[in-house]
Each structure stands twice: as structure tokens, then as C-alpha cells.
Structure 1
Amino acid sequence: MENRSQWGTRAGFILAAVGSAIGLGNIWRFPSVAYENGGGAFFIPYLFALLTAGIPILIMEFTMGHKYRGSAPLTFSRLHKKTEFIGWWGVLVAFVISTYYSVIIAWAISYSVFSFKLSWGSNTEGFLIGDYLKTADPGVMGGLVPGVLIPLIIVWVVALGILFRGVKKGIEIANRIMIPTLIVVFLIIVIRAVTLPGAMEGLDAFFKPDFSKIANPDVWVAAYGQIFFSLSIAFAIMITYSSYLPKKSDITNNAFITGFGNSGFELLAGIGVFSVLGFMAAQQGVPVNEVVSGGVGLAFIVFPAIINEFPALNELFGFLFFASLVLAGMTSLISICETYIAGLVDKFKISRTKAVIFGGGFAAIVSLLFATRGGLNFLDVTDYFINQFGVAVLGLVEVVVVAWLFRKLKEYQKHANEVSDIRLGSWWTISLGIVTPVVLGYMIFGLFKQNLTKAFATENGNYEGYPDSLISLGWTIAGLALVFAIVISLVKWRKSTEQSESIDKREAK
């Protein structure tokens, strides 16, 4: 008998899945990645990556969650009990991400308030690093920063409050409100942005194709990396969300809608970002390439500086921009937290309330590390290593285990085709069996080669000045996620949960 929580409507699931995929990286990462890798020409490898990795993996994870009816650990345990650790690995990667992702949302809340008086002043970098974050030297923790702590508490109260209410009454309702609001707010920003002086020069820089870069394999790796990191795949989220789908759910259509919905928002973000970068370049009398930026610096340094130069309604558009960051961040944070809440409920048979208190509460406590004066430095290192050597490696392992080790693609293809309008063919099996593993393997090989030979560099800049202890912390966090995953997987399930039947076996009876 099916006792698992379910989405109220198909739209509710799609909005939640899109809400998870649309996050801060869509706004501050995609535009700069596209620009640096061929502009308009980048959309060729980007679309190819979406169709050969992004959507195929989405379909695979939707199918696994729907078929096995469980959180990521329970899903992989039902695939084969020796693969349970992969589910916990994804859950622990999500846990780590939630601890610092929540802090960035707290920054956005603060900046929403700062927008009313443009409190960041003319020196936006000095304000962020010094006045607001009060950043200490790399490796030094320092005390808690009240300006970060207070909004961080608000973030966790809202997120955990939504999660307490469950899937249908909490997560679904929250996404039904937040995602349409986000789209409306961001459309207002984009419409205003494209009317600014210099906006067309910015858009020309963004869309102008440089086809010579298409021959560079690094551009294709960048496209796959962008798709991979922006779709919330390979770290437990989509498996967890799809486990709440009703028995008759169109898996393939849902995956296409989610994938193209995420990419559509990224394109919208690119238009908005490069419109305002074009405006900034025009105001300073410099080429657009001299003002292009990405990451935290774009959101909290460059954008405040641009907002200062707006011809009118600076405060309003400053508030709308940072409010959009809060909305995009919150929908993603909720989905990230749901992975370990669902995992705790399934594994230890505790109530959802206890799982939210223990899992979410512990994440909130750990997040305090990033609300200290050394928080920005710890955040940079943790984000880099947990994403590159957590999410990326985990994705490769997941695909190899499913496609090569247990050869489950045909079985999952049959399951998806039975409930979907769009039938999967050889495109799907070739993408997951050959294209995705090869590209991910090449990408990860390059990452290890780079990071074992020199200090790491992130989208925010080169961090060669970081002490070895901080770099070691990054490696340790990424490694411990795997170690703890293996340890937890050795703990026995309560009441033989992992032996429960999949949806296929129940219906066969």
C-alpha cells in the first residue's frame, strides 16, 4: 500500500523541479560562462549538452525515484543494496551545499534592505568585504557577523517552516508562489535593463558568435559543466522529488519541461545581465569585456555599482534584483534540504517533524561557520571542492553504475515509456551509456590534474594566497562526504524498509 507523500498536481511537481533547478547560478554563472566560451556560438554545445546529458540524466533520475518510491539512499538500496552509499553520498553533498547556500541567501536579504538607501555607497567591493562581511584573513574564523546572522536565522525559519508542512502543503504551495513571483520580478528587471543606454552593446557582446571557439574541447566541457551544475542533477534532489509522483506520471515530458524551463530562465538571465553590463560599460566609456564578471562578485559588487548609475528608480530595481536572488535561492534551498530530510525519514523511520528538526537544525547550526568574519573564505573553498569533487564525481559514478555496472537503462527506458507520451529510444541509451560518461570522465580528469598541480581557482578569481590548511579543508570536506556516506550505508534499515517493493512489482500483482 502506498503511504508516501505525493504532489497535489503535476504542475506542483514541475514548479518544484524547475524551482530546484533555477538557482543563484542561473543568474550569476551562466551569462559569464556563455560569454567567455563563444557568445552566441556557445548555444550550440550548450543545447547539445542539454539533450545528451541534462535531460537524459533528468529522465533517469525521475524514473528511478518514481520506480523505487524512495529517497536517494532508499532508491539506490532498492537498485542494489551495495549501491546505497551513492544515495547517501548525494544526500551529504546536498547537506554541505545547504549550509553555505543559505548564507548567500542571507546576504541577498541584507542587500534587499540596503537597496532602499543604496547603503553600499560608491565603493561596493569595499562595502561587501569590509563593512558588511567584515572579512578576516584567509583561514581565520573570527566572530559571528550580526548583519549576516540575523537574515540567516530568517532564511532557516522560513525554509524549515515550509519543510515542516510537508510535500503538498509546504513545498508545493511555496513553489506555486515563489516561482511565478520570481519570473514576474525578473521580467520587470529585464524589460527595464534592455531599455538602458548601452544595453544593445551589451547584448551584442553576449550574443555575437565566435565560431572559432567551437573547435576547442574546453568549450564543450564548459557547456556540459553548466548544464550539469544548473539542473540539480546527481545529488539526490530529482530522485527525491520524483519519488512523490503519482503512479501515472509522464516522466519524459516532465523532464523536458524542467530542462527547457531552466535553460529558458538562464537565457533570460543572460539578457538581463548583459543589458546592465552594457549600460555600465557605456557609463564608464569602456568596452563591455572590461566589465564582465560572474559569481558572488557580479551579484554583490558589480550589480550594486550598476544600480548606483541607474537613471531613475535605483532603489526599486535594486530591491527587485536582490529579491529575485532570494526567491531563486529559497526554492533551491528547500529542495536541497528535502534530500536529507527524506533520507532520515526512510532510513530511521522517524517522523518528518523530527527529520526536519534533526537534519535542518543541524544544517542551520553548521551554517553559522559561514556567518563568521572568515565565512567568505570558508564558503569559497567549500563551494569549489564540494561541487567539483562532490557533484561532478558523484554524477559520473551514478551514470556508470546504472548504465555500465548494472545495465539498467533498458529497464528504466521501459518504465518511462509505459507512463510517458514521448517514448525513449536509442538517443537516450547512447547519451547515458557513452556520451555522458566520456565527457564527465574527461572533465573530472582535467579537474584533478589542475588541482593536484597548482592552487585552485574558482569563478571568483585565483586563490593562490589561501593557506594550505584552507585548501586541505576543501579536500577534507569533499572526502568526508564519501566516507560518511559509506558508514551510514552500513547501518541497517528499520523494519526492512529497503526490501519494500518497487511500483512495478506492486502493480504486477
Structure 2
Amino acid sequence: MVREQWARNSEFLLSCVGFAVGLGNIWRFPYLCYRNGGGAFLVPYLLFLVFGAAPVLILEIGLGQFMSESGTGAWNICPLFQGIGVANLVMMVLVNIYYIVVLAWGCYYFVMSFQPVLPWSHCDNPWNTPRCSLTKQMPCMVSNGTFNGTLNMSVVACVKDNTTSTVDPSVEFWERKVLQMSSGIEESGGVIWDMALCLLFVWIFVYFCVWKGIKWTGKVVYFTATFPYVVLITLLIRGLTLDGALYGIKYFLIPDFNKLAEAQVWVDGGTQIFFSLAIALGAMITLGSYKKFDNNFYRDCFIIMCINSGTSLLGGFAVFSILGFMATEQGVDISEVVSSGAGLAFITYPKAVLSMPLSHLWSAVFFFMLFLVGIDSQFVHVEAVITPIVDMFPKYINKPWHRMAITAVYCACAFLIGLSMTTRGGIYIFTLFDYYSASGMVMLWVCFWECIAIGWIFGAKRFYDVIEHMLGYRISPFLWICLKFITPAVTVGIFFFQVVTFKSATVGDSYEYPPLGEAFGLLLAMASMICIPITMIVKLRKIPGTLLERLRRSVTPVLKKKQIPKKWISQGMCQTVTVIEDEDEAEERFSLEKSSAMI
């Protein structure tokens, strides 16, 4: 079966940009930049981009294009490390379950933006409590978790004055109407049907955008990957016209170089860029596998990196211009306004639009952008699961309706599991998935083994030969140095720092998970991490011979004839490669033999 390919390279670029440019570019990057020294944060961010994330991005897209396979198939280049592909698949399955829940929340807010009166603008709703009060002060306590490294889950507790504790209506709308939070993970409290219907709608939307494969998805991303920039620029222009906008941008960018002496700033910079480029999830390998063998993926990688980082800066200007306006309106320091993730998306921004003319319009525009920014990431999330399944069974999944059926079954199963996060105890389940399943430690673990597999076992020099075979020229030796030495050191360094400073997940200011809940979270993290060593052991046990012979065979690349560089043939290096017949060539030969027999 001939593998599908992108109709145009622009479709590949838009899909990569749509996947990499996600929720974190809009608010987590600005928040981290503000918290870690403003413009000074760009120093570790850019250094780790050059020496850490960029080499891995080039590795993944180049590997996908060279092997024309996703998942475990791509790691036939070094079969002992096929567990990396399995780990990618497990991570993406878990991410698909909870990432889309944020989009369901966004859909709900989008619908609520068309109410005659915005429901978070007053305290006369059935869900409001006597503590609800309209106040110009912002909530006083923010408790943070993480959302896939891209969305910081903030639950805002209360607003305190000198006499009593009050709660802003935007907080009560989020906690008591949208989440309807129970007392803990032990109390599910039943399904919130409004949220369940929003989740169902988003899954149906995703299905009909990916059901026909990349030929169809490539057309959809022309809108989903570009229109958010129209909305973001519109919000930026509107934000810059507000009083206090320059005050907010000053807080966003003004450098505090003293922060560079703190280790946490460097760790935040490193983890943010790895998350931001969405590497170590297998999706970039999948997207690269649909490229033509001789496409200039090297150039494309630089385009993706520039657009991704540029979007982070654009999002920072847009967000902080509005936060500066809020601080000016309320007469408080911007540090009392700034928040990240859900605190910004579902509390701070809804509160901000109340002070803006045409508040309904700007609320709808913001949540429409939120939906589009997240939905094209979800497309690729699903594609990164379906494609490896199709690649594993090419003889059985060889018709368009086969793929449609598998995609439908997968989306239905993911939706049913995700329903647990639309219950009144769903936020506690969501936070566990969010905090553990694709955390910084998990992604850095995978990145490290990717660099070891290509830089040391397959060999950085041979990978350069592969790149030259595809591009027709030899690239700068800088990538060789990074894959061999710098990037593994960067990933393992940040990994161990996060292990040493690890803190358990919490929800809100005080809720701590019971031992079973914490154990479940750790299992989510280990589910993908353990795939790499287990796959190594299984492969070594299956190969006959001494341990040395097993190791030698397990790291021998399994390639097709067309993938062998001419340099290897002239230098007699083909003896270190297992050459298999290309499936397309085999099908063509079989057709010719069958035609000859009939004649």
C-alpha cells in the first residue's frame, strides 16, 4: 500500500505549527517570562532552544521523513530502542484523554458569551453563595499545578478584605458552575451533562477533521492554524488601545538579570521550550513520515522554531497589555493580577472583558481563539495514535474505511474515559493526568534516550550521512555536537533537578491526594517511561546467541534499499545494515509477475 504524503509542504508546516503552537504559547510563556526576570528569561529559553530542543526537533522530523514510518516503525533505525515509539504512543493516548477537556471548557465559555448578561458578571445566579461579591480587587491566593507543561492549572481561592472573605463571581462561575467541584477524588458526584455535551461536540469535531487521514487534515489546518493569528493580532491591537497597556508590557519584558543566578529560572526555561515545540511525543515523527523523501525538512525545522517562539512573544504582548489594563483599572500592582493557565483563561480574562466595551464580543473572540489554538494540537494528538496503529498492520488496514472505523472506535473510547473528568470530582482526575502523564520528567526522559539512540548507538556520523542522502548536501557539524554531547547532558541535567525537587500534585490551596490517588498519578508517569527498558529486555530475550551477539543484532538498522546512502555502498558499510525489500516495490513486482502469468 502506497503511503499517503502531504499534498503541499505548506500543509506539513501548518500542521507542525498548529501542533507546536498550543495553549502554553498564549499564557504559560508570558507568565514564566514575567515570573523569571522578564526579558532575562529569554536567555535560558533561547540557549535551551539552540542546544536542547532544536536538535531533537530536527532529529524527530528527519527520522520520520527518512524512515517513512511512525511509532515503533521509525525506530527500526535502531531496533533496540523501539520502546521510544511505544512510550510516545502511551503518552499520546493519555494526553488525548485530558487535553481535549480544556477545549470543552472553552466551548462552554464560548456559548455562555452569547447570554444577554455574562453569567460571571454578577452574583444573582443560582450557583452563587452569600460570599460572592463584586470587587475591584483580584483573588488573593493562587495555587499552581501543571497542564502538560503548557497550561498551568490555577485554582483561585478567595478575595480578602479587612472584615470577611469574599469570592469574585468569575471564581464562583468557574468552580461552582463549570467544575461544580466535589470535596475530593473519592466523591465523583455524577456527570455534569453540560460539560459532557461540550466534550462530545469537540470529539465529533476532531473525528471529522482526521477521519480521512492527512489528505483531509492538511486542508483543515489552513483555517485552524492560521485564523488564531488573526484573532491574536486583533486582541493585541485592542489591548494596546487600553489604558495601562504599556504598564503591562513593561512588566512582561523588563529584564531582571539577577534572576539568572537562580537554578529554577534555567529549569523553567529548559522545560518550557521542550514543551513548547511539542517534542518527545512522537507526533513530529508522524508528521515527518508523510513528507517526500527528498524534502528539505532541515529548513522547515527552522521555520517551525521561529514561528513557535514568535507566537510566544506575540501572545505575551497581547496578554500583558490586557493585564496592565486590569491593574490600572483596579489600582493594584500587576503582580496581584497576573496568573497562568486556567486562572488566566477561565477567571482573569473573563473578568477583564467586563471592563471592556463590547464585552460579549471580546469574550467570544477570546474563547474562539482558545478553541482553535487547542483543536489543531488535538488533531495531531489523534493522528499520532492512529498512524502507528495503521503502520503496524498494513496488510489488514489497507482501505480508507478501515482507518475511518478505527478512528471512530478510538475517539469513542477516549470520550468515554474522558467523561470521568466531566463529573463533579473530575477536576481531581484531570489534575492527576495533567500533572503526571506527560510531565517534564517524562518528556526529558524520552528526549535523552532519543539522543542516545541516534547520537551514540546508530551514530551521529551515520545520521549525517542519512541527512545528506535526503537533502543532497551536508549540514553544519553543530547538530552532530549537540546530539552527541550537549543535548543529552541538558536533558539529563534538567531531569535529575526535577526529580530532586519533585512535589506531589495538589488541587487548590489545601487539597492533597490520598495515597491511592498519588500512586495512580505515579503509574500514569511510569506507564510510558517504563516502555523503553522493558522493550529493550524483550527484544534481547527474543534474539538467539550470546549477549554480545544479541546486542549487536539489536542495534543493526533495518532499512529499505532506497534508504541506503550511496556513500555506504562505496565504503562497504552495508554489512552493518539489514536491508529489507520495499513493500511498494514488492507489490509492484507481484503485480508484474501476476500479469505475466495471465498472459
After TM superposition, give the deviation of residue 75 of structure 1 in Å. Answer: 0.6
1:63 and 1:219 map into 2 onto residues whose CA distance is: 31
After TM superposition, give the deviation of residue 148 of structure 1 in Å. Answer: 0.9
Map of 1:501 onto structure 2: 560
Q: Residue 8 of structure 1: SS of its match in structure 2? A: coil
Please tell me the root mean square deviation across aligned C-alpha atoms, in Å.
Answer: 2.4
Q: Of 353, 359, 366, which residue of structure 1 is paired with 2:410?
A: 359
Map of 2:488 onto structure 1: 437
1:421 and 1:297 map into 2 onto residues whose CA distance is: 49
Map of 2:523 onto structure 1: 476
1:408 and 1:69 map into 2 onto residues whose CA distance is: 20
Contact 1:45–1:223 at 8 Å: present in 2 too?
Answer: yes
1:371 and 1:485 map into 2 onto residues whose CA distance is: 32
TM-score (norm 2): 0.78
- For the structure 1 residues 463 and 254, does the alpha-carbon distance in structure 2 shift closer, same or farther, using more than 3 Å as the test? farther
Structure 1 unaligned runs (5+)? Answer: 493-497
Map of 1:166 onto structure 2: 213
2:459 and 2:411 map into 1 onto residues whose CA distance is: 33
Alignment-mate amino acid for residue 470 of structure 1: G
1:91 is the counterpart of 2:137: no
Q: Of 268, 273, 276, which residue of structure 2 is paired with 1:227?
A: 273
Map of 2:227 onto structure 1: 181
2:473 and 2:99 map into 1 onto residues whose CA distance is: 35
Bigger CA drift: 374-383 or 276-285? 374-383
Map of 1:369 onto structure 2: 420
Map of 1:403 onto structure 2: 455
- For the structure 1 residues 380 and 109, does the alpha-carbon distance in structure 2 shift closer, same or farther, using more than 3 Å as the test? same
After TM superposition, give the deviation of residue 155 of structure 1 in Å. Answer: 0.8
Bigger CA drift: 391-400 or 233-242? 391-400
Per-residue deviation, residues 202-239 of structure 1 (Å, max 9, x unmatched): 00000100111123332122111111011110010000
Q: Residue 295 of structure 2: SS of its match in structure 1? A: coil
2:452 and 2:84 map into 1 onto residues whose CA distance is: 12
1:278 is the counterpart of 2:278: no
Bigger CA drift: 262-271 or 432-441? 432-441
1:81 is the counterpart of 2:130: no
Larger Rg: 2
Q: Residue 354 of structure 2: SS of its match in structure 1? A: helix
After TM superposition, give the deviation of residue 488 of structure 1 in Å. Answer: 8.5
- Quick check: which one's helix share is greater? 1
Bigger CA drift: 478-487 or 15-24? 478-487
After TM superposition, give the deviation of residue 433 of structure 1 in Å. Answer: 2.3
Structure 2 unaligned runs (5+)? Answer: 123-168, 543-556, 570-580, 582-599
Contact 2:88–2:280 at 8 Å: present in 1 too?
Answer: yes
1:317 is the counterpart of 2:362: yes
- For the structure 1 residues 432 and 506, does the alpha-carbon distance in structure 2 shift closer, same or farther, using more than 3 Å as the test? closer
Map of 1:149 onto structure 2: 196
After TM superposition, give the deviation of residue 407 of structure 1 in Å. Answer: 4.1
Map of 1:25 onto structure 2: 24
Q: Of 368, 384, 392, which residue of structure 2 is paired with 1:339?
A: 384
Seq. identity, %: 32
Map of 1:495 onto structure 2: none
Moved >6 Å (runs of 4+): 484-492, 506-509
After TM superposition, give the deviation of residue 410 of structure 1 in Å. Answer: 2.1
After TM superposition, give the deviation of residue 439 of structure 1 in Å. Answer: 2.1
- For the structure 1 residues 429 and 367, does the alpha-carbon distance in structure 2 shift closer, same or farther, using more than 3 Å as the test? same
Alignment-mate amino acid for residue 55 of structure 1: A
1:307 and 1:26 map into 2 onto residues whose CA distance is: 21
Per-residue deviation, residues 342-362 of structure 1 (Å, max 9, x unmatched): 111111332322331333332
Contact 2:248–2:323 at 8 Å: present in 1 too?
Answer: yes
Contact 2:465–2:565 at 8 Å: present in 1 too?
Answer: no
Alignment-mate amino acid for residue 374 of structure 2: G
1:368 and 1:338 map into 2 onto residues whose CA distance is: 21
Map of 1:116 onto structure 2: 114
Bigger CA drift: 244-253 or 415-424? 415-424
- For the structure 1 residues 462 and 52, does the alpha-carbon distance in structure 2 shift closer, same or farther, using more than 3 Å as the test? farther
- For the structure 1 residues 477 and 450, does the alpha-carbon distance in structure 2 shift closer, same or farther, using more than 3 Å as the test? same
Contact 2:23–2:370 at 8 Å: present in 1 too?
Answer: yes
Alignment-mate amino acid for residue 375 of structure 1: G
Map of 2:53 onto structure 1: 54
1:433 and 1:223 map into 2 onto residues whose CA distance is: 22
After TM superposition, give the deviation of residue 434 of structure 1 in Å. Answer: 2.3
Alignment-mate amino acid for residue 268 of structure 1: L
1:214 is the counterpart of 2:260: yes
1:420 and 1:448 map into 2 onto residues whose CA distance is: 40
TM-score (norm 1): 0.92
Aligned length: 495
1:73 and 1:358 map into 2 onto residues whose CA distance is: 22
2:243 and 2:91 map into 1 onto residues whose CA distance is: 43
1:462 and 1:22 map into 2 onto residues whose CA distance is: 30
- For the structure 1 residues 42 and 502, does the alpha-carbon distance in structure 2 shift closer, same or farther, using more than 3 Å as the test? farther
Q: Residue 309 of structure 1: SS of its match in structure 2? A: coil
- For the structure 1 residues 421 and 377, does the alpha-carbon distance in structure 2 shift closer, same or farther, using more than 3 Å as the test? farther
